[in-house]
Amino acid sequence: MQKLVEIVAGVTSGTTTATAVVEEHLARIKAREAEIHAFNLVTADQARKDAAKIDEDVKAGKVVGALAGVPIALKDNMCTRGVETTCSSKILQGWKPPYDATVVTKLRNAGAVIVGKTNLDEFAMGSSTENSAFGPTKNPLDISRVPGGSSGGSAAAVSAGFAAASLGSDTGGSIRQPAALCGVVGVKPTYGTVSRYGLVAFASSLDQIGPFTSDVRDAATLLEVISGHDPMDSTSIPQPAASLVSVLDHGVKGMRIGRVTDLPEGCEPDVLARLEAAFDAMRNAGATIVDVKLPSLQYCLTAYYLIAPAEASSNLARYDGVRYGNRVDAADLNAMYAATRESGFGEEVKRRIMLGTYALSAGYFDAYYGKALKVRRLISDDFARAYKDVDAILTPTSPSTAFKFGSKTDNPLAMYLCDVFTIPTNLAGHPAMSVPFGVGSDSMPVGIQVLATTMGEQTMFKVAAELERAS
């Protein structure tokens, strides 16, 4: 399978065409999509039209974008004008947005060819893509195992070669965890680096869009394209995109890499062994390993599962059968609201709405939600102290390799623990990414997570590139 940068080089030089590239990827989709179910919708006809237009521009000598001819898949919670956007929920089935998300506009302007909308845990709530109203996505490397979640379809699309790259959203690890389980690169940028305009909200203070790719260079290239200030997003950081590709060959000599000595328990021995191998690789490349403590990590999971459901409870109140999606008719307005939401939302979404509503209710706000916000500040303070001593931190991405379907569905807490290493950076707003680094005893990929401080993407990508070279 061609890398993103190879496709762009081939299309712009004329050694291949965007049409040929797109047809190659559509053929892979046709061959395995029924087995994998990475997509909710494949936009083959439009992809062919867009590819043909790029080829015309190349022949005419026109300047084409930095992603010319690159097939890209979009998580189905990003608005696409006139194209169904469902969030893998029955309540939005058939809804076609009247506008494009900012990231979609940026991709199109850069010459990317969008091949479809990928499956996800309903409204991005889950860690296995088993919570989709349209059925689960399977891991292309072993279809008896989950691809991770919530962006499981986006990770699977890249892992299976259905798209050269994809976009997902990350609220508590929803890019990085599936990237680790599917053996691809996944990036959650600093909060505010990539516009959230047109991203259907789950938890607005935590959500961030980021890329999936097959290697670090492609991730850097794609993130440069989609980053930058957007006046349509009030949380967008008012500064241009950082140069990332330019730092990939700088190495890590002289850098200080943090080892967290009080990591939460529960990580599989195989994963911890790969983490130790990653630290060895850093030492061999000239970095110094420095022990750091993050004492508030033990409270991250609890804080997140109060803050995120609380925000979800507010954000999802808009789905009432009046303004969006499906409606179930009933005797009166309140009955219609109840019937629509009962039939439209899945069990995990209902669970989180109820958790969030309870945490925000009178008499419990200070005891639960208010306290969780204080913990969030403690987590940020712990990271700030750690980054005084180190340039970046390495942890596992996921406590395990990809697990079997159904093994955690009856135990929500076990499923929530899948995100124990990824949640902290969402609470802090920092960047983090997962890089494939070997396999476990089951021959499934292990991801190593690289963490950096706010706007520390350049440092993060230097470390990620070095890990990739050593893997």
Q: Is the dihedral of CA 210, 307, 178, 22 positive or negative?
A: negative
- Give residue 278's pLDDT band: very low, low, confident or very high (50, 70, 90): very high
The pLDDT tens digits of the residues spanning 144-168 come to 999 999 999 999 999 999 999 999 9
Q: What is the pLDDT of residue 412?
A: 84
- Active-site annotation holds for 150: yes
**Token duo for residue 292:** 């750091």
**Token duo for residue 186:** 């996944």
Q: Which CATH class is domain 4-245?
A: alpha beta
Residue pair 419/170 in contact (Cβ under 8 Å)? The answer is no
CB within 8 Å of 188: residues ≥ 6 apart: 170, 173, 175, 176, 208, 210, 422, 425, 426, 431, 432, 433
Residue pair 181/146 in contact (Cβ under 8 Å)? The answer is yes
Q: By percentage, how much of the chain surpasses pLDDT 90?
A: 94
Q: What is the pLDDT of residue 1?
A: 78
Q: What integer best gives the mean pLDDT of the chain?
A: 96
Residue pair 208/196 in contact (Cβ under 8 Å)? The answer is yes
Residue pair 119/74 in contact (Cβ under 8 Å)? The answer is no
Q: What is the pLDDT of residue 144?
A: 98
Q: What is the pLDDT of residue 414?
A: 86
- Active-site annotation holds for 227: no
Q: What is the pLDDT of residue 366?
A: 87
The pLDDT tens digits of the residues spanning 224-272 come to 999 999 999 999 999 999 999 999 999 999 999 999 999 998 899 999 9
The pLDDT tens digits of the residues spanning 421-452 come to 999 999 999 999 999 999 999 999 999 999 99
Q: In angstroms, what CA-CA distances link 363 with 285, 302, 321, 357, 381?
A: 54, 19, 30, 12, 28
> E strand or H helix at 198, and its extent?
none
Residue of 75, 106, 117, 462 marked active site: 75
Q: What is the pLDDT of residue 356?
A: 95
Please state the φ and ψ torsions of residue 357, each to the nearest 5 degrees.
-65, -40
Q: What is the pLDDT of residue 452?
A: 98
Q: What is the pLDDT of residue 324?
A: 80
Q: Among the listed ranges 117-131, 173-187, 314-328, which one has the minimum average pLDDT value?
A: 314-328
State the Cα–Cα distance between residues 371 and 343, nearest whole angstrom: 33
DSSP designation for 240: P
**Token duo for residue 33:** 């999509």
The pLDDT tens digits of the residues spanning 305-322 come to 999 999 999 999 999 988
Residue of 88, 127, 150, 214 marked active site: 150
**Token duo for residue 98:** 């009247």
Mean pLDDT across 269-285:
98
Residue of 132, 159, 174, 434 marked active site: 174
If 0-12 CB within 10 Å is exposed, 13-18 middle and 19+ buried, where does residue 48 land?
middle
Q: In angstroms, what CA-CA distances link 373 with 145, 306, 358, 359, 380?
A: 35, 9, 16, 12, 11
- Active-site annotation holds for 174: yes
Quickly list DSSP for 146-192.
---SSSHHHHHHHHTTS-SEEEEEESSSTTHHHHHHHTSEEEEPPTT
Q: What is the pLDDT of residue 409?
A: 85
Angle, vertex CA 312, rays to CA 130 and CA 329, nearest 5: 80
- Give residue 209's pLDDT band: very low, low, confident or very high (50, 70, 90): very high
Model pTM above 0.85: yes
Residue pair 258/394 in contact (Cβ under 8 Å)? The answer is yes
Quickly list DSSP for 375-410.
HHHHHHHHHHHHTTT-SEEEEESSSSSPPBTTSSTT
Q: For the chain, how many residues are written?
A: 471
Pairing of strands 445-451, 208-213: unpaired
Residue 223: CA count within 13 A, CB half-sphere: 34
- Give residue 325's pLDDT band: very low, low, confident or very high (50, 70, 90): confident
First CA to last CA distance, the chain: 19
The pLDDT tens digits of the residues spanning 400-427 come to 999 999 999 888 888 998 999 999 999 9
Query: Which residue did the predictor score with more confidence, 288 or 367?
Result: 288
